[in-house]
């Protein structure tokens, strides 16, 4: 993969001058690794975001994304497999793919397999033989899983890996990080040639979070914000036939496409109706930023103790978007692996909920409204009655 320079061309259809609607001059480049001290936090690599929306193909992309800044290297870890809800969901995906494509004893390729949780699952469940390619793999590895096997190859997937293409290709939570999505798919189509190799791609439903004005959900690692239509259009433009595509996972957070090699065609080319949505997002982001900066200034003048609950991507984006976020004293997280670490750039220590008993915050800001009820209960159990606000 190559880094993007600030050129004015859409990477989904090559149209010129997609519309710039959102800027973030400094945001941590990775949420997959957390620093262990305040000093290290201040040194964490940052990147810039300039989101552009193309009204020809619907792609929304960070036009100044540089994949090398993210640090997709061994040690990078964002797996959701420890979450029971996710595990149940992904088992369902695996079973459906095995049924639909007869994946028994087949040769599978996973592009960007991470820790290979999904590859292991689908190879064990169907007795398949899988190869996974990923830059975060430390060492080449081969292992048996049930009646099948997996082999892991370190590196970014490229033309050099053509020989690994077998009977089926999958790619989950990776295509949204690929700087040149059309070039990537076009190359993959060429590599497949005249073989019939079906594939499954799954991505973050980025346009949904923009349409729903989730202003803190823009992260550096993700350079493409797809809608279902812009995603399927890319596959068709690159020479694939879409078999099936839809929203999936909780609250339609993800999108998937199942496709097989076909003939390149030009799908719908008027996405001007999405422009009001991206303009609304930009306006809302500025409003929310100003409102929160004002609130933090007021609390600082009143000597109030303020904490944020939730150290994930949303929390990090919130803290680094506000110039006066130093008013937030700590960040609370229930995940013991994150406690004791610090938020990149803004530097707050991440603490366990029980520490709040001694800190006695006046204000608790929630980075995710989903857990409001649960957090209110925990605060009451600690004998605390702070003001609670959603970021």
Contacts with Zn ion by CB under 5 A lie at: 10, 12-13, 15, 54, 56-57, 59
Supply the minimum distance, in Å, between the C-beta of residue 61 and Zn ion: 9
10 versus 137: smaller Cβ distance to Zn ion: 10
Nearest to residue 188, comparing CAs of 256, 247, 235? 235
Tokens 């800044």 label which residue? 69
Supply the minimum distance, in Å, between the C-beta of residue 189 and Zn ion: 18
Cβ atoms of 379 and 385 within 8 Å: the answer is yes
10 versus 199: smaller Cβ distance to Zn ion: 10
Nearest to residue 285, comparing CAs of 19, 46, 51? 51
Supply the minimum distance, in Å, between the C-beta of residue 72 and Zn ion: 25
* Gyration radius (Cα) of the chain, Å: 22
Q: Which helix (H) or strand (E) holds 162?
A: none
Cβ atoms of 169 and 197 within 8 Å: the answer is yes
237 versus 342: smaller Cβ distance to Zn ion: 237
59 versus 257: smaller Cβ distance to Zn ion: 59
12 versus 310: smaller Cβ distance to Zn ion: 12
Half-sphere exposure of 338 (CA within 13 A, CB side): 25
270 versus 290: smaller Cβ distance to Zn ion: 270
Nearest to residue 161, comparing CAs of 196, 134, 201? 134
Structure tokens, 175: 């295509």
Supply the minimum distance, in Å, between the C-beta of residue 268 and Zn ion: 11
Supply the minimum distance, in Å, between the C-beta of residue 230 and Zn ion: 8
In degrees rounded to 5, what are phi and psi of residue 277?
Answer: -65, -40
235 versus 330: smaller Cβ distance to Zn ion: 235
Tokens 């600082």 label which residue? 300
Cβ atoms of 252 and 208 within 8 Å: the answer is yes
Supply the minimum distance, in Å, between the C-beta of residue 226 and Zn ion: 12
Structure tokens, 104: 């028994």
51 versus 145: smaller Cβ distance to Zn ion: 51
Supply the minimum distance, in Å, between the C-beta of residue 13 and Zn ion: 3
Cβ atoms of 230 and 206 within 8 Å: the answer is no
Supply the minimum distance, in Å, between the C-beta of residue 267 and Zn ion: 11
Phi-psi region of 105 (alpha: psi -120 to 50; beta: other; left: phi over 0): left
Q: Which helix (H) or strand (E) holds 23?
A: strand 19-28
Instruction: Say how far apart CA 185 and CA 173 lie, in whole Å.
Output: 15
């Amino acid at each position: 993969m190559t880094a993007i320079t600030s050129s004015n061309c859409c990477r989904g259809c090559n149209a010129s001058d997609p519309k710039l609607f959102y800027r973030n001059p400094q945001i941590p480049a990775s949420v997959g690794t957390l620093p262990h001290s305040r000093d290290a936090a201040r040194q964490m690599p940052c990147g810039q975001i300039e989101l552009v929306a193309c009204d020809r193909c619907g792609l929304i992309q960070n036009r100044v994304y540089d994949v090398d800044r993210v640090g997709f290297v061994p040690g990078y870890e964002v797996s959701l497999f420890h979450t029971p809800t996710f595990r149940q969901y992904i088992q369902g995906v695996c079973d459906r793919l095995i049924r639909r494509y007869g994946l028994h004893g087949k040769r599978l390729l996973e592009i960007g397999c991470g820790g290979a949780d999904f590859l292991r699952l689908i190879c064990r469940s169907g007795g398949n033989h899988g190869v996974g390619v990923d830059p975060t793999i430390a060492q080449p590895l081969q292992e048996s899983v049930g009646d099948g096997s997996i082999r892991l190859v370190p590196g970014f997937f490229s033309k050099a890996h053509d020989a690994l293409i077998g009977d089926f290709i999958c790619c989950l939570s990776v295509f949204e990080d690929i700087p040149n999505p059309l070039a990537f798919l076009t190359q993959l189509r060429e590599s497949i040639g005249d073989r019939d190799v079906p594939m499954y791609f799954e991505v973050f439903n980025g346009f949904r979070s923009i349409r729903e004005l989730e202003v803190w959900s823009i992260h550096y690692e993700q350079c493409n914000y797809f809608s279902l239509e812009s995603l399927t259009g890319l596959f068709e433009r690159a020479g694939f036939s879409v078999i099936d595509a839809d929203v999936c996972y909780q609250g339609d957070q993800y999108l998937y496409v199942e496709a097989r090699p076909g003939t390149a065609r030009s799908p719908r080319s008027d996405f001007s109706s999405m422009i009001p949505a991206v303009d609304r997002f930009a306006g809302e982001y500025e409003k929310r930023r100003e409102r929160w900066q004002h609130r933090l200034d007021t609390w600082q003048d009143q000597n109030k103790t303020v904490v944020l609950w939730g150290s994930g991507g949303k929390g990090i984006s919130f803290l680094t978007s506000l110039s006066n976020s130093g008013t937030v004293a700590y960040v609370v997280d229930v995940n013991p692996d994150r406690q004791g670490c610090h938020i990149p750039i803004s530097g707050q220590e991440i603490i366990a909920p029980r520490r709040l008993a001694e800190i006695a915050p006046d204000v608790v800001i929630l980075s995710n409204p989903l857990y409001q009820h649960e957090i209110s209960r925990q605060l009451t159990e600690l004998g605390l009655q702070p003001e609670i606000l959603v970021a």
